[in-house]
Structure 1
């Protein structure tokens, strides 16, 4: 009787939905992995879902250092280091500035301040494509176009609204009495921020860093437009490899290059996923 009550139509439907969802999201990844481990002769023989008969990592080696983008055959390794040089400083700068902005705005309560803050944040919801041409002209005038610094700066600009909103919401939940007590003890704006507020906001720092890192690493459009030929990120070089039509389409190399490009954000989530959930939970509880 206990087992009969345990197996209900709702529970069966829930597990069926979870199973179908898992298959839906893992099947493409499975196909990419097994294809990348096959030779082209085996791929041409069909059986896209079959396990490789002879596992080979030649496609992975080619994708990393030998895949061709037009006339250059350097793989995605150069794009990997370009993505690191763009992503790491952009995340650090946006989180530092966004945390300070969020703290300052949490203390800023003039008449009509909430309306003004809402208008400022609404600007972050406007599609970035609208700003591309004005930013290109502005960066070109300032000699920042097609530079590494320009690519970092544009990611900081587009990431600041979200990061600022996250930190402001978090700091708004901190009791005002805590800051007032610190001021009575002689602490100023920066001392309160670095010694009290920022240590309390470590979970939100983790959340903002992960969101910024994955967003910037997976970006294609801004890297293509602003980074320049010598600083193209990994996603742009992946697109160039996949769309290169010189000779035979190397599907195993394309799959391996795609997995290599997605591997870094996946590792970030696997390693820091627990901290991400804790940060989101802490922000939700405090907010």
Structure 2
């Protein structure tokens, strides 16, 4: 068994990693401790001090009482709006991206490379450039400011990256699998459903993590396209934080911020190793 030798280089790596972890975890620590303090303790104490009297009242207010505009019902409604947007806004782009990547990798229709280049270029177009044309298009279709509108927008903006991920992943699979399925009489959809989809779990997890966090953390698209009745949690959080009337409740603001970020944090915490496996299994191969 090889014994690891402690060297200055290894010590430097550990110091750097510790400093990086501290840099990213310190704001989260401050947010957590502040969210469990009363306002009197926040005004009188140190920002890094642990709460003297722990209280869950700020969390209750953030969830069900804080004003997010004209209504004072907390960020609870925004949470369920975000769930209603994120679920179809994740499933549909992944399915469309998987079909596109499968077609571009194995069937290669005429102009496939050109189509892939156009899709790839779409991933680098700034969102702000497309907002006004999409507003006019969705308004003309009569769905602007609705749940289908915001889901469709996330499908449009998510499809290029999803196609890129699945196309590169399928390109790394042995071509013999496809040829054997074709010899057995498999068609486009039969091969996709029975051969490709069962092999797609690693990259599907990567795609789901990327799409869920992107849709959940989105602000500008939800503000423009979701409509007043479907505002996501991020938009309601902005209304909470930027409220200028009365006393600014830092503990409630911190609790609302953590509640908003809880889903992406949980996904990365529990699915981090799946993300690494998916990347290693071919997500960056081409």
TM bracket (short chain)? over 0.9
Map of 2:252 onto structure 1: 253
Scaled by the length of structure 2, what TM-score is found?
Answer: 0.95
Moved more, 146-155 or 111-120: 111-120
Map of 1:132 onto structure 2: 131
Distance 2:251 2:92 in 1: 38
Report the 3-state secondary structure (helix = DSSP H, G, I; strand = E; otherwise coil) of the residue aligned with 1:260.
Answer: helix
Report the 3-state secondary structure (helix = DSSP H, G, I; strand = E; otherwise coil) of the residue aligned with 1:6.
Answer: coil
Deviations 1:227-278 (A, max 9, x none): 0111000000000000111200000000000000000111112222222221
Distance 2:96 2:110 in 1: 25
Number of equivalenced pairs: 285
Give the 3 Å change call, closer, same or farther, for CA 279–20 of structure 1 in structure 2: same
| CA-CA distance at 1:112 after TM superposition | 6.3
Give the 3 Å change call, closer, same or farther, for CA 100–80 of structure 1 in structure 2: same
Distance 1:233 1:284 in 2: 30
Scaled by the length of structure 1, what TM-score is found?
Answer: 0.94
| CA-CA distance at 1:180 after TM superposition | 1.7
Distance 1:89 1:219 in 2: 15
Distance 1:248 1:83 in 2: 28
- Confirm whether residue 12 of structure 1 aligns to residue 15 of structure 2: no
* Unpaired stretches in structure 1, ≥5 consecutive residues: none
Distance 2:125 2:106 in 1: 26
Report the 3-state secondary structure (helix = DSSP H, G, I; strand = E; otherwise coil) of the residue aligned with 1:10.
Answer: helix
Contact kept, 8 Å, 2:104 with 2:112, in 1: the verdict is no
Report the 3-state secondary structure (helix = DSSP H, G, I; strand = E; otherwise coil) of the residue aligned with 2:211.
Answer: helix
* Unpaired stretches in structure 2, ≥5 consecutive residues: none
Where do 1:229-244 residues align within 5 Å? 229-244=228-243
TM-align CA RMSD: 1.8
